[in-house]
Each structure stands twice: as structure tokens, then as C-alpha cells.
Amino acid sequence: MTAADVHRPAPEAAPPPPARAVPGWLRLAWLYLVSRRAPAAVAVLAGLGAVLWASLHWHWDVAGGAAAQQAIPLAIETGAAMVIAVTCYGPFGEPERATGRWLPCLRLAAAVLLTTVAFGALAAGSTAGGLPGGIPALLRNVAGMTGIGLLAAAVLGGALGWAAPLVYLVLAEGALADGATTPWAWPARPPHDLGGALCAGAVLAAGLLVTTVRGARESVRD
Amino acid sequence: MTATSAPVRCTPQAGRAAPLGLARLLRVELRRNAMPFVLPLIALVFWFDSYRIAATLPPLWAERLFYIFGQGHMLIDFAPFVAGVAAWMGSRDGRRGLADLLATGARPRFAVQFATWAATVIWAVGGYLVFMAATLWALSRSITYGAPPYWPLAVGAVGVAAFSAAGFAAGAFFPTRFTAPVAAFGALLACGVSSQIGFNEGTGWALILPTNSNSNFGQDAGVFYQFLPDLPIARVMFLGGIAVALVALLGVPVTAGSLRLRHIATVVSAAGAALTVTAIALTATAQVTGYGTVIPALHDAASSRPIPYTPVCRNAGIRVCVHPAYRPWLADVTAALRPVQTQMAGLPGAPARADQVATLFTVGGPGLGRSSVGQIATISGQPAVLYLPLGALNLSGAFGQDRTDFLDAIKLQTVHAFVTAGSGYGDPAQTAVQAALVQNAGIPLARQARQALPDSPWGNAIAGPPGNGGYPAQIATAATRFAALPAATRHAWLAGHLTALRAGHLTLAQLP
């Protein structure tokens, strides 16, 4: 037997089982999502949807004015953005960046997918009725806050990306209490307000762009 | 020189080496901690949510620190971030799959975790103290009297440590990337629920919550009497107990260290829990007094003594004296009293002097019943003295009030004290005369009903809730008629009928 024969199967060996027809790109996407703990993120987002449903169904009230009325839904939307932000960073670092040709596409796809799931979960939760601003406000708020989380992941690192949506929540609550009208405080704007929607959309677009091109910042303190 | 002749170098003793090693470990953890990254964000939130509002409030410590210390915003602004970062630091080894490796290291696993937590809490509490020092310095620039209370500051520091302990324990026991945001979200939720309870509950166990301002912060504390430390001490015990219990809990698992260490950690954790329960039990025994909440087991009688002061006075037709802390408002008080005094002068029971009195906490907790209209101006004594609890009014700049609101409130309260003998809601005749006198003091009937009256403790009973219209038609008609009388006629009628009016013996039809 020569070295060249090694690659040939022995004549008596059974033929290899036919490979399962899983496209390579699908497997790659799945592995990427698993490395970012996306399945767990989906579960947490579903949980937040359930909390939103419970808060609306049982009328969890916060004493106060407009800021207080939106406090619980806004906090839940913030929670969704925080969860998406921490799914941005990966455990592989340099090797992944050096070899992953499809990495930008995967980052973009994962962020879009999780944002969609977050919106879907919270929209399902809002079926209990009485969500301030309704679905348009929910879409705008989730989009904008997710954008803030993605941007923060790029600046602070994926590990701490959750902090920025939390900061924005406090600022937005303050803007609501003060009756601010700037479109950058979009939760304080009416649900169909174009300025607020444009600002939230711009922040989401910037977040997706930065996530696609650069990804989450990696810190030695992670 | 041979190797054997070389001087023998003293080897460090094991007992000395251990603390040195831990100190080195702490230094490494301080350098590699994630908390410094988040401190600028906390500073932004603290400035926006607390300082920005506090700086606009009237320059009295009890007013300016009401949001920060009274309603616990110092903790609300820090807690979610601190809990989240602490959870991140606590979950670090687990997320990296190093837990088993570290368990076999030279030092017990608990010692390593404790060093990480200590570094986290040093950054967090250090940041808190720096921010608070800067805040108190900035707020103090326009405050001319008294000093801030320091026990609530300690409550915040221990609270930050407690939330960091809670987050760290969550991260250590559930090391996933989602633990940090979940811990932050949980801390936010805890603070929100605590605030809601704090808004509604003024007595009992709920006073232990650091976001509860009822019955212990505000009024004239720090001016006429001290900020009572009883409740803040109980809160320090409560939060300190939580911190100790949760940190010591890290030493309980099998991998934490030796059996002895685990036993000690168990005992310390139980002691922390016991301290927390004790604090709650002590708070349940609290009694609300005029000077604030007293916990008998923690109370020092010296802290219940009034603070001596020399009043500052000015003339407004009568001599008007206020506490020196209220000197910035003395001109407003005299400006408000002058047009009222002009109408009251020479009438029976007209005050010969106006003195500020301390605004006290409501014994038995907050809330106004039908039988009481809360703390308002009164006239009593011989010669009659007008006693003004200015702290019970919303000073200019407080909670959306402006100077006009403040002047209106003084005018209304003084006339109310004069016409109704200072208590109750007033019958229709008293209300009509009061409305007329206040109108002639510069507040038209419409503004009285729209603004001044609803802001008073008894106003809703007469004019209904804000924006609900105005005086009942009969009262408005009688008041307009009485106000339109010549000043001399009105004065003469009051001189003859004021005693009967105060006693409630007159009806609307009997007014001229």
C-alpha cells in the first residue's frame, strides 16, 4: 500500500452515509447565532413580551404623569434593547475577524433578526391592550433603543452595551416629565410623529452600520 | 565569596505574605475592573435626573436634597448600573470557563471573588462619594444656612455596596452574558417598586426603603430642628446586612474554599440576614413625631432638641420675623402681608406681629382628613400673633411654583386664619368674606379659584380640583358684592360682625 492509496476506502468498507443536505451558509449562520447566544436572547425577549402582556393585562400603574404612564412599557423596551446589545460580542476575537469573510453580513443579519424578534415579542405582549402610543410607538422605541445599544456595543464593548439604553431610558423619562419636544427624545413624541420616527430610524441605521462594519468593541476588561 | 557565605535573606512570613498577596490581587482587580467605563454614564444620569432638578429648588438643604436623599434618587441613579457591572464582573470567571481552574489555585476561590467584588465596590462607592461631594459643593454655593444631613449620604453609599453585592452574587451564580442586563433591569425594577411604595406608605416597615421620603425628610428639618438620624441608621443596617449576606454567600459553595472558610461564610451570611431582619423589625416600631421618624431603640434624645436661632425681622405694617434660613424670602413675605395687613388693621383679632413657625411632620403619617386641613397659618395669643409655617408652603422655585404662587399662598393663608380662626374649611359666609379680602389684596376671584385656592390644603373642598371652575355661584356673588363696598364701609362692617363671622353664626344672606 502506498501513501496514495490512503485516501481510497478499503474495498470492504461500507460506503459513507449521504451527507445531510444542510446548506453551508445556513450552518454558518446558525453557528454564529449560537456563538452570540441568540437562542437564549430570543427566550429572554419572549419573557419580556410576557412581562409587557402582564403589565398591560393587570394594569400595573405607576403614580405620576405622562412619564410615569410610559415607565413600564419603556423599561421593557429598554430591556429588549439591552439584551440585543449584549449579543453583539463574540468569544473568538481576532481569529474570527481574520478568517470570517462573512462576518459583517452575519453581524447585520443577527442584529436585524433579533430586533425583529424583539419587536414581534413585544407586539405580541401588547395584545393585552392599552399600550401607550400603540404599535407605531413600540416599533419606533424598540428600533431607536436597539440602535443606541448597538452603537454603545461598538463604543463601550458588547459587554457593556446594555448600559446606554438604560441611560437613554432615564433621559427619555426626564424628557417626558419636562414635556420636551425634541425629536431625539422620541418616546416623548406622539406615535405618528415623523421627526421622532426619523431620529429613531437614523439611530437604528447608524447602529446597524457600525455593527456591520466594525462589530462590538472588544475590551480586555470583558 | 561563595554561595554559602552569601547573606541570608529573610523570607517573608506566611502571615505577612497573605495580606500582601491579597492587596496585589486587589490592585490588579482595580486596574482591570469594568466599573470605571460606566462611571461617566452614571455621572450623566445623576446630573440629568438628580442634580439638574435639585439645583432649581429653593436654597434650603431639606428642599434641594429632597429628590436626592429624600426620594432616594442617589440610589436610583446608581443602582441599575452598579448591579449590572457587578454582575458582569461576578460572572467573568464562569463565562470564561475558568471557575474550576481558579478553584484549584493557591488562594481560595472565595478570596479571589472577594477581591473582584471589593475592587468593584471601591470603584462604585468611590464614584458615588465623589459625585455626591461635587453635588453637595455645587448645591451649597447658594445655601446660606445649615449643613446637609450626612446619614442619608451613608445610606446611599451602603446601598451602592448592597446593589453591587446583589449583582455580583447573581453573576457568580449565573454566569451568562445576559446576567448583567438582567441584573441591571432587576435593580431598576426594584428601585421603581420601592419608589412606588415610598409614595404611598408613610408608616411601618415601608419606611425602611431608602426611596421613601415620607415622615423623615423635608419640612423644616435642618432649619428649626435636626434631621433625625434614626431611620437612616436603620437603613444603613438594612442595606449593610444585605451586602454582607450576599457577599458571604459566595463563600458557601463547596468550591469556595476550605470547610472552615465555608462555615465562617455561612455564619457571616446568616448574621447579615439577621441584621437586615433586625433593621426591618426596628423600623416597624417607628413612631412619627413632629420632628420626623423616631425609632425608640436607636433614638438619641439630643437629636430631638430644636436648633436655637435668632430671627431676622422686617416691617410690613406689623413686625414680620422669620428664621435666618428663610432670609431670602423675607422681602416676599412682607410684600405679601402688607396689602392684607392694611385691611385687617384695627379690627378685633388683627395680628400685631407675624412670626414664622416650624413646619412639622404629620404625626401618624401623611394625609389630610376632612377634619384637618394640615399645617396652615394661625392667629392666636394676646396681643394676637400670626404664625406662618413657611416650610409648608411651596417656596418660589419649588415643585413648579413661582413667586406669584408663593405670595398668593401667604395672602390666602393669612386671610383664612383671620376669618376662619385658622382651622377647618370655612363656611360659605367665611369663604365669601375671605375671597373678597383676598381679592382686594391683589388676587382676582378667577385666579383664586384657578390657582391659589386649589394649592391650599382646603381649597379642593371649596373650589373643587384644579381646573374645575371656580367658587360656587352664590359665594362668588356675595364675595364680589362685599369686595365692591367702599373700604371704610367694609372695615366698619367687619369691626361689628367679625366675631359672629368667625363663630360661624352668619349666612351668605347676612353679608352686605
B contacts of A167 (beta carbons < 8 Å):
41, 44-45
Residue B2 is assigned to a structural domain of this protein: no
pLDDT digits (tens, 9 = 90+) for B33-59: 999 989 999 999 999 999 999 998 999
Question: In this structure, what DSSP letter does residue B451 have?
Answer: I
Which of B63, B242, B278 minimizes the C-alpha distance to B149?
Answer: B63
Query: A163–B200: do the CB atoms touch at under 8 Å?
Result: no
ipTM: 0.84
Answer yes or no: is B4 within a domain: no
Q: Is residue B5 pLDDT above 70, yes or no?
A: no
- What are the contacts of B459-465 at 24+ separation with CB within 8 A? B461/B370, B461/B425, B462/B425, B462/B426, B462/B431
A156: nearest Cα among A94, A89, A83:
A89
Classify residue A31 as exposed, middle or buried by CB count within 10 Å of its CB (0-12, 13-18, 19+).
exposed
Range of the domain at B204: 23-304
What is the CA A210 to chain-centroid distance, rounded?
14
Count how many Cα atoms sit within 13 Å of the Cα of residue B512 in the half-sphere of its side chain: 15
> Among B270, B304, B338, where does a domain finish?
B304
Give the other-Cβ count within 10 Å of A21's Cβ. Answer: 5
Q: How far is A205 from chain B (nearest CA, A)?
A: 23
The reply to whether B276 falls in a domain is yes
Above 90 in pLDDT, residue A92? no
When pLDDT is cut at 50, 70 and 90, the band that residue B160 belongs to is: very high
- Taking CB atoms and an 8 Å cutoff, what residues of chain A touch B199? 63
Predicted confidence band of residue B265 (pLDDT cuts 50, 70, 90): very high
B399 in reach of chain A (CB within 8 A)? no
Whole-number Å distance between alpha carbons of B510 and B495: 15
Q: Please tell me the distance from the alpha carbon of residue A70 to that of residue B276, in angstroms, as a whole number.
A: 33
Are residues B254 and B388 both part of a single domain?
A: no
Determine the Cα–Cα distance for residues B179 and A159; give it in Å rounded to an integer. 11
Whether residue B354 is contained in a domain is answered as yes
Number of helices followed by number of strands (H, E) in chain B: 20, 7
Percent of chain A whose predicted confidence (pLDDT) is above 90: 48
> Which triple of cell numbers denotes residue B403?
413667586
Q: How far apart are CA B406 and CA A178, in angstroms?
A: 22
The residue of chain A nearest to residue B90, with distances taken between CA atoms, is: A222
Residue B10 lies in a domain: no
Query: How many Å lie between the alpha carbon of A44 and the closest alpha carbon of chain B?
Result: 9
DSSP assignment of B181-216: HHHHHHHHHHHHHHHHHHHH--SGGGGGSTT--TTT
Q: How confident is residue B295, by pLDDT bands cut at 50, 70 and 90?
A: very high
Query: Under an 8 A CB cutoff, do B178 and A37 touch?
Result: yes
Asked if the C-beta of B189 comes within 8 angstroms of chain A's C-beta atoms, the answer is: yes
- CA A126, A130, A134, A138 torsion: positive or negative? negative
Q: Cβ B184–A162 below 8 Å, yes or no? A: yes
- A62, A78, A174: residue with CB nearest B196: A62
- pLDDT at residue B275 tops 60: yes
Q: Which residues contact B272 (CB under 8 A, 6 or more apart)?
A: B240, B241, B242, B243, B244, B245, B246, B247, B248
Question: In angstroms, what separates the C-alpha of B44 from chain A's closest C-alpha?
Answer: 8
Q: Would you say residue B117 lies in a domain?
A: yes
Q: Does B47 touch chain A (CB under 8 A)?
A: no
Q: Test A75 with B48 for CB contact under 8 angstroms.
A: no
What pLDDT is stored for residue B364 in this prediction? Answer: 57
Tell me what pLDDT residue B374 has: 61
Of B447, B467, B372, nearest to B404 by C-alpha is B447
Instruction: Test B37 with A71 for CB contact under 8 angstroms.
Output: no
- For B64-68, B214-218, B290-294, which range has the lowest pLDDT when averaged over its residues? B214-218
B279 and B327 share one domain: no
Contacts of B33 in chain A (CB under 8 A): 221
Alpha carbon distance A115, B474 (integer Å): 62
**Which of A166, A173, A176, A184 is the best substitution to test chain B (most B C-beta atoms within 10 A)?**
A166
- A62-66, B23-27, B41-45 — which is least confidently predicted? A62-66
* Distance, CA of A132 to CA of A66 (rounded, Å): 10
A85:B38 CB<8 A: no
Instruction: Write the pLDDT tens digit of every residue in B364-411.
Output: 544 433 344 567 888 888 888 999 888 877 788 787 788 888 888 899
Region A83-104 average pLDDT:
81
Half-sphere exposure in the Cβ direction for A190 (13 Å, CA)? 3
More confident: B155 or A21: B155
Q: Is B49 on the interface with A (CB under 8 A)?
A: yes
Residues B317, B293 share a domain: no
- The amino acid at B28: V
Answer whether B81 touches A (CB < 8 Å).
yes
Q: Are residues B274 and B355 in the same domain?
A: no
- Residue with the three cell numbers 470605571: B36
Judge: A71–B49 Cβ closer than 8 Å, yes or no.
no
Which of B244, B278, B304 represents a domain boundary (last residue)?
Answer: B304
Looking at every residue in chain B, the average pLDDT score rounds to 86
User: Within this chain, do residues B218 and B283 fall inside the same structural domain, yes or no?
Assistant: yes
Last residue of a domain, one of B304, B330, B351: B304
Q: What's B364's DSSP letter?
A: T
- Name the CA radius of gyration of chain A, rounded: 22
Query: pLDDT value at position B202?
Result: 76
Residue with more model confidence, B394 or A29: A29
B300 plus B317 within the same structural domain? no
Share of chain B above pLDDT 70, in %: 91
**In 3D, which of A86, A217, A91 has the Cα closest to residue A162?**
A86
The count of structural domains within chain B is: 2
B229 assigned to some structural domain: yes
- From chain B, the residues in CB contact with A170 under 8 A are 45, 48-49, 77
| Cβ–Cβ gap A75/B188 under 8 Å | yes
Query: Does the beta-carbon distance from A160 to B81 stay under 8 Å?
Result: no
Determine the pLDDT at residue B204: 84
Helix (H, G, I), strand (E, B) or coil at B288: strand
Is the separation of the CB atoms in B415 and B437 below 8 Å?
yes
d(CA B252, CA B384): 70
pLDDT digits (tens, 9 = 90+) for B313-331: 998 888 999 999 999 999 9
**Peptide bond between residue B383 and the one before it cis (omega within 30 degrees of 0):** yes
With 50 as the cut, is the pLDDT of residue B10 above it?
A: no
Residue B16 lies in a domain: no
The minimal CB distance from A221 to the residues B32, B80, B176 is found for B32
Contacts of B77 in chain A (CB under 8 A): 170
User: What cell numbers appear for B257 in the block?
Assistant: 474554599
Q: What is the rounded average pLDDT of the residues B433-438?
A: 89
Q: Does B124 touch chain A (CB under 8 A)?
A: no
Give chain A's contact residues with B (Cβ, < 8 Å): 37, 40-41, 44, 62-63, 71, 75, 78-79, 82-83, 85-87, 89, 156-157, 159-160, 162-164, 166-167, 169-171, 174, 219-222
Q: What are the two backbone dihedrals, phi and then psi, of residue B378, each rounded to the nearest 5 degrees?
A: -135, 160
The span from the CA of B427 to the CA of B407, in Å, is: 24
CA B87 – CA A159 distance, rounded (Å): 11
Higher pLDDT, A198 or B451: A198
Look at residue B38 and give its three-state secondary structure: helix
Specify the pLDDT at position B99. Answer: 74
**Which of B162 and B446 is assigned the larger pLDDT?**
B162
**Which residues does chain A have within 8 Å of residue B176's beta carbon, measured at their own beta carbons?**
37, 40
Q: Is B87 on the interface with A (CB under 8 A)?
A: no
Peptide bond into B58 cis (omega under 30): no
